[in-house]
Amino acid sequence: MAVNDLIDLNASPALGVPARARRVVILPLIIFVLFALVPLAGLWGSQGFVLSIVTRIMVLALAAMSLDLLIGYGAMISFGHAAFVGLGAYSVAILSSHGITDGFVHLGVALSVSFVFALITGAISLRTKGVYFIMITLAFGQMLYFLGTSLAAYGGDDGLTLASRSTLLGSKLLKNDVVLYYVVFGFLLGAYLLLRGIVASRFGRVLRGIRENPVRMEAIGFAPYRYQLTAYVIAGMIAAVAGCLLANQTEFVSPAYASWQRSGDLIFAIVLGGLGSLHGAIIGAAAFSLLADILSHYTEHWALLFGPILILVVLFARGGIGGLLGSKS
């Protein structure tokens, strides 16, 4: 089979794509409708607690989706992806500590810094492959983590508590938990639609072709390095947005946001939900967060219980939870 046939595989009506496409649309629609209704459901219970949990899930889902673009669609396993979350969070904290509280400025700085960091580190990391790529992304992530611990003026290893959440053109709308919830929801929906469009585009098809056979893709005229670097930068910038939102949700930042353990959490989430599935990353983020919360109530060593669950998912549900639900984007 020619490489062009592989790239256009999803376009073949003989493969029953219409039915599969319906499944791909219905499940994400259900997910986002449920997210949209959460604040209403919270009116009958402890709304503040419910909003806090689900907002955190959506922030994790946003970061997980960005990493899934790299791993699920580009086969670029990064153990330093949380560094971009840390960049976004510290953009909010550092600017706020100097009296710059506007959220649009925070977001602009976070996107700019993450763009430069992703461009430089990606350009270096993508010169390597396999385990070397994993280790060099881990090294860059840890460099940023230790930089955060050395910033004594901004809390160092203890982290930094924000005086308040970001303002929006001078207003303090984000102080309201419901407003913050829907802002996070809007970013999650926007990122999902953006990534869905990227994956379905010619760029996304080429990226998947590079994942399968980079040599053949290069032989027919595509430059794998440029496509992979572009995906790396896009993923890093989306993760930085998640970091901005996380800082506002917790009103606290810490170097731990950029640690390799947080990168591992993101990988666990997309494996649980299903690699190469954007809404699977959202499902995986929800499953990971809820499992961590539930298991931690029973023991502080909850990771010992989570490990076997992850192993069972990998062994018996190759497509993750999203695969069990019969949907893959």
**β-pair partners for 252:** 161
Asked, for residue 286, whether it belongs to a domain, the answer is yes
Q: Are 136 and 199 in contact (CB under 8 A)?
A: no
Which of the 8 DSSP states describes residue 164? S
Domain span including residue 319: 3-8+15-324
**Chain centre to alpha carbon of residue 78:** 12
Asked, for residue 245, whether it belongs to a domain, the answer is yes
* 134 contacts: CB under 8 Å, gap ≥ 6: 77, 78, 79
Q: Cα–Cα distance between 187 and 89 in angstroms, integer?
A: 15
Q: What is the pLDDT along the chain (329 residues), one digit of tens a residue?
A: 343 443 343 433 333 445 555 556 788 899 999 999 998 876 666 777 889 999 999 999 999 999 999 999 999 999 999 999 999 999 999 999 999 999 999 999 999 999 999 999 999 999 998 899 999 999 999 999 999 999 888 988 989 999 889 999 888 999 999 999 999 999 999 999 999 999 999 999 999 999 998 889 988 889 899 999 999 999 999 999 999 999 999 999 999 999 999 999 999 999 999 888 899 999 999 999 999 888 888 888 888 888 888 888 878 777 788 777 765 55
The structure tokens listed for 60 are: 């994790």
3-class DSSP state of 79: coil
Asked, for residue 172, whether it belongs to a domain, the answer is yes
pLDDT in tens, 270-299: 999 988 889 999 999 999 999 988 888 888
Q: Cα–Cα distance between 87 and 90 in angstroms, integer?
A: 5
**Residues 298-302: contacts with CB within 8 Å, 24+ apart?**
none
Q: Residue 178: which CATH number?
A: 1.10.3470
Amino acid present at 27? L
Q: Cα–Cα distance between 72 and 281 in angstroms, integer?
A: 10
The structure tokens listed for 75 are: 């086969």
What percentage of the chain has pLDDT greater than the value 90?
63
Asked, for residue 329, whether it belongs to a domain, the answer is no
Angle at alpha carbon of residue 183, lines to 182 and 186, rounded to 5°? 85
Q: Which of 316, 251, 304, 321 is nearest to 64 (CA)?
A: 321
Q: Cα–Cα distance between 124 and 138 in angstroms, integer?
A: 13
Q: How many domains does the chain have?
A: 1
* 52 contacts: CB under 8 Å, gap ≥ 6: 177, 249
pTM equals: 0.89
Asked, for residue 274, whether it belongs to a domain, the answer is yes
Asked, for residue 138, whether it belongs to a domain, the answer is yes
Integer angstrom CA distances of residue 35 from 105, 112, 186, 240, 244: 27, 29, 10, 22, 20
Helical ranges in 75-129 per DSSP H: 82-97, 103-125
The reported pLDDT for the residue numbered 40 is 84
Asked, for residue 147, whether it belongs to a domain, the answer is yes
Asked, for residue 116, whether it belongs to a domain, the answer is yes
Q: Cα–Cα distance between 132 and 128 in angstroms, integer?
A: 6
Q: Cα–Cα distance between 165 and 93 in angstroms, integer?
A: 10
Q: Cα–Cα distance between 134 and 151 in angstroms, integer?
A: 26
Q: Are 88 and 246 in contact (CB under 8 A)?
A: yes
